[in-house]
Amino acid sequence: MLVVSAIITGLGLGSMYGLLALGFHVTYAVSATVNFAQGSSMMLGAVFAYTFAVRLGWPIAPAAAMALALCALYGVIVELLAVRPFARRGSNAWLMATVALGIVVDNAVLFTFGKEPRGFNMPWATGSIPVFGIGVSPLQLLIPAAGVALAGALHFYWRRTRGGKAMLAVVQNPEAARLMGINVPRVISGAFALSTVFAGAAGILIAPLFNVHSDMGTVFGLKAFAVAILGGITSAWGVMIAGVVFGVVEALITALLGSTYTQILSFALVIVVLAAMPNGMFGRAEVKKV
Amino acid sequence: MKALPWVTLAACFAAAIAFTSVANDYYVFVMATLALTAMVGIGLNILLGLSGQVSFGHVGFYAIGAYTVAILMVRLKLGFWIALPAAIALSALTGALLALPALRVRGPYLAMVTIAFGFVVEHSIVEWEDVTGGQNGIMGVPKPLFLGEPLTERDIALGAIVLVALLLVAFSRLSRSSWGASMRAVKDSEVAAESVGLNPIAIKTLAFTLSAACAGLAGALFSPLSGFVTPSSFAFLQSILFVLVVIVGGAGTVSGPLIGAAIVVLLPEVLAGLAEYRLLFFGALMLGVLWIAPEGIVGEVLRWVRRRREAVRSTTSAGALPGALRAQAALEVDGLTIAFGGVQAATGVAFKALPGAVTSLIGPNGAGKTTVLNMLGGFYRPDAGRVKLGARAIEGAPAWRIARAGLARSYQTSQLFGSMSVLENLVIASPERAGTQQAAESLLAFVGYRGDLYARAADLPHVDRRLVEIARALATRPAVLLLDEPAAGLSREDKAALARLMRRIADAGVAVLLVEHDMEIVMGISDHVVVLDAGTPIAAGTPQAIQQDPAVRSAYLGEDQGRPAARRGAAAPAGPGLLDVGRLEAGYGAEPVLKGIDLRVATGELVAVLGANGAGKSTLMRALAGLHRPVRGEIALEGENLTRLPTHRVVASGVVLVPEGRQVFPELSVLDNIRLGAHLRDELSEADVESMFERFPRLRERSAQRAGLLSGGEQQMLAIARGLMAKPKLLLLDEPSLGLAPTIIRQLFAALDRLRDDAVTILLVDQMAGLALALADRAYVIDGGRITAQGSAEEIAARGALEKAYLATG
Amino acid sequence: MQSAWTRRSILAAAAAATLCTALPALAAEPIKIGLVTALSGQSARAGEAITRGLTIAIDELNASGGVLGRKFELVRRDDEATPAKGVIAARELVFKEKVAVLFGGLDTPVSLAIVPIMNQAKVPFIGPWAAGTPITKNGANPNFVFRVSAVDEIVDKAMLQYAQKNFGTKKPGLILINNPWGASNEKGLRAAMKAKGVTPAGIEKMENNDVDVVPQLTRLKQAGADTLFMVGNVGPSAQVVKSLDRMGWDVPVVSHWGPAGGRFTELAGPNAKKVHFVQTYSFYGNQRPVGQKVMKMLMAKYPDIKGPDDVTPAVGVANAYDAMHLVALAIKNAGSTDGPKIREGFFKIGTYDGLIKAYDKPFSPEVHDAITENDYVWTQFIDNKIVPVGMVK
């Protein structure tokens, strides 16, 4: 029972880490840069959805859609303000710039949205259904499903649509992609939008289980980065799987050894795994060329 | 002038000490915090600025230093002067240990390892309650006793400021020492560092250790200064602030971390009155600083100063190769074989490079020449075969060992240590890592470098990079020197000088192994020539013998491969011009590669551009396709000016390049590759795809396969089909026959012939001059970035200018 | 035309601004009151509550002419919930701004780090929130630290006592936030349990951002816990209730005052009412005149406050309000803003009819905590309102 409940907990959290990590993967694959403040993107998704659905009373579907659209816009802004000016000059100061922008956004939300955590109560999220004799929130089942669905949607987008294939082309060979007439800067900008949409979706999904406040994303963003790296940031399915594995391992450590060891062991595992597999669990080694 | 920064710094420190001596307790504490932050920053700068490794876990070392002192002083009642060295030693040791996993990873993976390290330290402190006091930390850390009296906060602050000054001096000395230079060499180019005999693992471990020691020192002072330690003082955000200190100040600069620390510590104090809005403004201001100075404040200032500096030139005159050589030794290669993912890149390569002789390794593009050099230099481990340097077997040894054994090399794309000066590049390469400036200067004179001795290598013009790279290789005092296409992109005069230089090096007793496309050089200076084709040696002998060898002629000129029916071409384009190129100039860095190209292509024509490697053909194609920007001069398509358009707009206006090396999207299916070609067309007609399959039936069979699995010839067909899908007005073909087997080349040219019949306008660049001319209506010959001949295909073929350009005959 | 108008309005604004800053300067120098607390991040709301309690009290005092003919002025600094920042901020306020007294925030470690500085500088330090026992019992003599707030040690005893009396607790399980506050209560609860000969079923920790505490709670359940002692801010506390709901585990929960930090019912759902938690004050129910007055002032000053629902966390407002009035009395007794004299002034306070209670000689050289265990009220959340336990069935 302990193990089963831990696995269910881990699956829900892990898929959410996976979604956030997928966001890291998308931008890294296309541009070798990431938004280090991905947690802020997640928080924005939840805050926007709360604002529309609860404060303005919209039905959840348009509220979530609108929130994701705003997230996409935020992704474009991140790339424009905190990544492009540096990446263009070959400087790695985007590392710091995205963090700084995240601080600005977190604090701006603190003063506009409010300082109190708010409950995002959705009727379909509360209640408990028995699974293997354990009470589970419907949302805990929905999150892994939504995670897989979104990863699948990404897969479909990449494999079946023109825009998606253009993005894949940029991933595989930016120069040849330009020769196809693909506007590479726009694709990178689009990748950041997509990345932020994934983070926003994770935020909206987790909000009813959790709560909504300006600081809610920080820890998740960090763990998601660990997951992205563990999975091998170059592999989409790799980061998704790593997310689930990380979530389940974390919950199992808590359940079996006690919460005292959760943080130490999970981060120590990160170091050990990376020392053994320097390109993550599913990442590909870069070919050394002279 | 040179002392000015030091005078300014000394004045700053004097002012800081004077201020701290009289200021109130608040300012004293701020100054102390500033000094401690600067200490961590200086340490992190060793890692980030010198060795190029990032750490988002430095707060871990800081915490280890602080807790060691707190535990030893409070729990064990030991004195500060025992606790301090213990804290530094423990931090340094942890740093060395962290280097073990950290060295295996790079980029974001390294960032994550260090982040995880910081968290492990923080949470270990929280959970190891008996020793660390858990969440509540350790209170009441006493002040250090000095001559029996406890030091005040003011004393500690003053001491910390003095320590920062000492650390700055130490950093400056380290940075200029051979170890510091080695770190910067590893940062600039790990490959080149190994090839001058540096061991990156030892160097990076040292950087981690020193860096951790500095952070530990700062932590050790933090404990008695604040009087307490709690885990919340060592949170992840603090690590980010440490990195910010280095980046905002300017990574790699001496005073950067000082300026960075001043900003990161003082700015929040200035903003303190904003209360809850402080972080908001801090974030926004940081973003602003990064925008203004992405290389850090000191970095930007230095860049500005550098631009204003007077050049320093050597007065040493050229003479014989200076410095004692090692014992002469021959390089013997036998049965060298390697395969990449099932593709045989080199098979049974065998030759001997003798001391005092120039041995050349030649062959068409993709023949495996650089692969052989990489095996000799230790960057690839051969699957089979032996390499002997003198009596010593060196195959499979790491690159830095091979370099120390006496084998030096230069690279196709220059691998100088870009952030270091010309002199430093040479000094670090000498076997004792601290060669004298004198020796370096005379080597530079020997290779004919006349430029600024203190210029950053990254800022050098192309020809000087080549010379400095050769000089650096010579600085290792090699027995064998490998040169990978040293003449590529050089002017005629520079090439001639280079040829003389190589001869002089050989005459000094070095065994020179040359990979070069310029046949005039190869044939002019070689004692022995080895020809590779498709990874296999096909001929060896004197230059004269090689020039007459039929196998070589076939491999190079594509002769006797069955010409398609020649078409009668006109000497001047018939009909209206589709593409007009006028006075086109383009280049990399200071040196132009294209020096005023005039060229016209009329609708329906097939025009060939011929010339030796490095003549500028590919640069021309890239310039036309918009990949190479900026360019000067004019590129007009039906009167529309393309010179300022980015690639995707050039494609939209109807010029499509099928690039050198195919460049298909390997993970996408063949069908997807073809469809991507029509990316800009709104309607994607399946009929167009069908017509491509009719044109290239092999692609239909493979349409569902991943493009990366296709053979070279199939990939080339795919690349052409992909290009045609855009319905271009002008198709640019860059080296379509590169690396393909003769039968495949024949099929390919037959397909191109059909394209010509379908009235597709084509501009073709190909090594296989015979085939290209057989296909073309007209041709241009490029040499040294200029058009040296033009006319109908027959005229060009008849002139014999080509053979001269390609094989340097006659 | 437009630019002329703009220029004139800027000039007018500048003149007004000069006038505003010049006027108070004509009167006597104001008495500066410092506050170092978390104003950003997760605890921003708590810092705001303290700010509001102090501001209301200062407005009230200033309206009646201030003390010693001088008005009060509040100077705030953000400590970002870290001791290192708090220590610098405290030094700035004491040595640069020269505040007469300094108020602390909600984080025990920050306050603990500030205490030695204040005792050394001989400036009174008043805690309106942080409950760590050693803050006031710091061993310094003379001790300049005072508190108008709960004390963990006492709360922990009260929690055990309440649980044993109302739920017949034999084997409690502890679920604690993994921060210094949780650690302080782990110590206090262990001591309280040891004194009563109770052995806990287990002690589990949770993080601020734990979404699901089912694994920890399952461990406690399997260890046979019959009651939960909960210490955590409102967010994690709500996660505990939601996790209990999912597990279908109906167990009494006795809690420190964390749930009062926000809209607990909204966050935790209807079963929020199962949690019984300690409070120093509640704005709900029948209020004494002081309570009605303060509520009115809060609604007038802060447009976002429409009723008791919006006064969260109420303890922060209430403790700060009373503490500020006690400080004013101490300064009045001292007849000066000199630190040691103010300290003596605290001991001379007779009676004061405050919000939390009618204080009668709240401080003495031995007693630096104005709130005693008799002042705690046990409350529960019903429909987002904090009501004393038993008032609503």
Global ipTM: 0.92
What is the C-alpha to C-alpha distance for residues B34 and B42, in angstroms, rounded to an integer?
Answer: 12
In a domain, C10, yes or no: no
Is the Cβ pair A264, B668 closer than 8 Å?
no
Is the Cβ pair C209, A211 closer than 8 Å?
no
Please check whether residue A112 touches B, CB under 8 A.
Answer: no
CB contacts of C250 in chain A (<8 Å) are: none
**Amino acid symbol at B472:** R
CATH number corresponding to A2-276:
1.10.3470
- Shared-domain flag, residues B723 and B606: yes
Give the domain extent around B30: 4-236
- Shared-domain flag, residues B520 and B583: no
Number of domains in chain B: 3
- Render each residue's pLDDT in chain C as its tens digit; 393 residues: 444 444 455 545 545 444 444 444 445 789 999 999 999 887 888 899 999 999 999 999 999 999 999 999 999 999 988 888 899 999 999 999 999 999 999 888 899 899 999 999 999 999 999 998 889 988 888 999 999 999 999 999 999 999 999 999 999 999 999 888 898 899 999 999 999 999 999 999 998 888 889 889 999 999 999 999 999 988 999 999 999 988 889 999 999 998 988 888 889 988 899 999 999 888 887 788 999 999 999 999 999 898 888 887 888 999 999 999 999 999 999 999 999 999 999 999 999 999 999 999 999 999 999 998 888 889 998 888 888 887 665
- Shared-domain flag, residues C194 and C266: yes
Residues B750-778: what's their mean pLDDT?
85
- Shared-domain flag, residues B154 and B101: yes
Contact B301, B489 (CB under 8 A): no
CB contacts of A136 in chain C (<8 Å) are: 246
In this model, does residue B574 exceed pLDDT 60? no
* B434-438: long-range contacts, CB 8 A cutoff, minimum separation 24: B434/B177, B434/B178, B435/B475, B438/B316
Considering only CB atoms, C109 lies closest to which of B24, B26, B230, namely: B230
Q: What share of chain B is helix, strand, coil (3-state, %, to 5)?
A: 55, 15, 30
- Shared-domain flag, residues B663 and B604: yes
Higher local confidence (pLDDT), B573 or C120: C120
Determine the pLDDT at residue A53. Answer: 93
In a domain, B322, yes or no: no
What is the C-alpha to C-alpha distance for residues B437 and B415, in angstroms, rounded to an integer?
Answer: 21
Residue-by-residue DSSP string for B155-190: HHHHHHHHHHHHHHHHHHHHHHSHHHHHHHHHHH-H
> Taking a contact as any Cβ pair under 8 Å apart, which residues of chain A between 230 and 289 contact chain B?
230, 233, 260-261, 263-264, 267-268, 270-272, 274-275, 278-280, 288
In a domain, C14, yes or no: no
Considering only CB atoms, C91 lies closest to which of B26, B134, B135, namely: B26
What is the C-alpha to C-alpha distance for residues B134 and B152, in angstroms, rounded to an integer?
Answer: 28
10 Å CB burial of residue A61 (0-12, 13-18, 19+) is exposed
- Shared-domain flag, residues C231 and C258: yes
Determine the pLDDT at residue C4. Answer: 44
In this model, does residue B369 exceed pLDDT 80? yes
> Taking a contact as any Cβ pair under 8 Å apart, which residues of chain A between 158 and 217 contact chain C?
206, 209-211, 213-216
CA distance C235 to chain A (A): 7
Q: Which chains touch B (3 or more CB pairs under 8 A)?
A: A, C
In a domain, C8, yes or no: no
Determine the pLDDT at residue B720. Answer: 93
> Taking a contact as any Cβ pair under 8 Å apart, which residues of chain A between 10 and 49 contact chain C?
12-13
Q: The domain that contains B642 carries what CATH number?
A: 3.40.50.300
- Shared-domain flag, residues C184 and C231: yes
Determine the pLDDT at residue B323. Answer: 59
CA distance B657 to chain A (A): 6
In a domain, C322, yes or no: yes
Determine the pLDDT at residue B615. Answer: 73
- Shared-domain flag, residues C158 and C275: yes
Average pLDDT, chain A: 89
- Shared-domain flag, residues C51 and C127: yes
Residues B729-738: what's their mean pLDDT?
90
CB contacts of A175 in chain B (<8 Å) are: 627, 659, 663
Q: The domain that contains C125 carries what CATH number?
A: 3.40.50.2300
Considering only CB atoms, C214 lies closest to which of A9, A114, A213, namely: A9
In this model, does residue A100 exceed pLDDT 70? yes
Considering only CB atoms, A5 lies closest to which of C206, C215, C245, namely: C215
Please check whether residue B243 touches A, CB under 8 A.
Answer: yes
Contact B29, B21 (CB under 8 A): no
Determine the pLDDT at residue B1. Answer: 40
B711 backbone dihedrals φ, ψ, rounded to 5°: -75, 165
Disruptive mutation site among B44, B106, B120, B684 for chain A (greatest number of A CBs within 10 Å):
B120
Chain C positions touching chain B (beta carbons under 8 Å): 39-41, 44, 47-48, 76-78, 80-85, 87-89, 91-92, 94-96, 108-109, 112-113, 116, 121, 132, 178-180, 182-184
Establish, for the pair of chains B and C, how many residue pairs have beta carbons separated by less than 8 Å. Answer: 90
Domain ranges of chain A: 2-276
Determine the pLDDT at residue B564. Answer: 45
Determine the pLDDT at residue A19. Answer: 92
Please check whether residue C42 touches A, CB under 8 A.
Answer: yes
B774 backbone dihedrals φ, ψ, rounded to 5°: -65, -25
What is the C-alpha to C-alpha distance for residues B333 and B372, in angstroms, rounded to an integer?
Answer: 10
In this model, does residue A289 exceed pLDDT 60? no
- Shared-domain flag, residues C302 and C338: yes
Is the Cβ pair A181, B666 closer than 8 Å?
no
In this model, does residue B568 exceed pLDDT 60? no
Q: Categorize the per-residue pLDDT at B514 as very low, low, confident or very high, splitting at 50, 70 and 90.
A: very high
- Shared-domain flag, residues B159 and B208: yes
Among residues B547, B513, B504, which one has the least CA distance to residue B358?
Answer: B513
- Shared-domain flag, residues B540 and B621: no
- Shared-domain flag, residues C214 and C317: no
Among residues B116, B16, B57, which one has the least CA distance to residue B242?
Answer: B57
Last residue of a domain, one of B181, B205, B236: B236
In a domain, B285, yes or no: no
Among residues A12, A43, A14, A78, which one has the least CA distance to residue A223?
Answer: A14
Please check whether residue B123 touches A, CB under 8 A.
Answer: yes
Out of A278-282, B266-270, B587-591, B637-641, pick the least confident: B587-591
In a domain, C1, yes or no: no
Last residue of a domain, one of C279, C300, C318: C279
pTM, to two decimals: 0.86
Which spans in B23-128 are helix H?
A: 25-45, 58-70, 80-102, 108-127
Number of domains in chain C: 2
Per-residue pLDDT tens over the stretch B67-97:
999 999 999 999 999 999 999 999 999 999 9
- Shared-domain flag, residues B593 and B694: yes
CB contacts of A250 in chain C (<8 Å) are: none
* Contact partners, residue B133, CB within 8 Å, separation at least 6: B139, B230
What is the C-alpha to C-alpha distance for residues B614 and B463, in angstroms, rounded to an integer?
Answer: 13
Considering only CB atoms, B374 lies closest to which of A166, A261, A290, namely: A290
In a domain, C379, yes or no: no
In this model, does residue B683 exceed pLDDT 80? no
In a domain, B296, yes or no: no
Please check whether residue B276 touches A, CB under 8 A.
Answer: yes
10 Å CB burial of residue B410 (0-12, 13-18, 19+) is buried
- Shared-domain flag, residues C334 and C217: no
The CA-atom distances, in angstroms, between B756 and each of B90, B731, B749, B775, C11 are 74, 11, 10, 8, 78
* Contact partners, residue A271, CB within 8 Å, separation at least 6: B101, B113, B116, B117, B120
Residue B687 CB coordination number (10 Å): 6
Is the Cβ pair B726, A168 closer than 8 Å?
no
Give the domain extent around C104: 27-150+289-374
Is the Cβ pair A274, B665 closer than 8 Å?
no
In this model, does residue B660 exceed pLDDT 80? yes
- Shared-domain flag, residues B551 and B582: no
The CA-atom distances, in angstroms, between B92 and each of A75, B124, B224, B259, B301 are 40, 18, 20, 25, 32
- Shared-domain flag, residues B67 and B156: yes
Lookup: tokens for A103 = 């601080």
* Contact partners, residue B288, CB within 8 Å, separation at least 6: none
Q: Categorize the per-residue pLDDT at B107 as very low, low, confident or very high, splitting at 50, 70 and 90.
A: confident
Is the Cβ pair B676, A166 closer than 8 Å?
yes
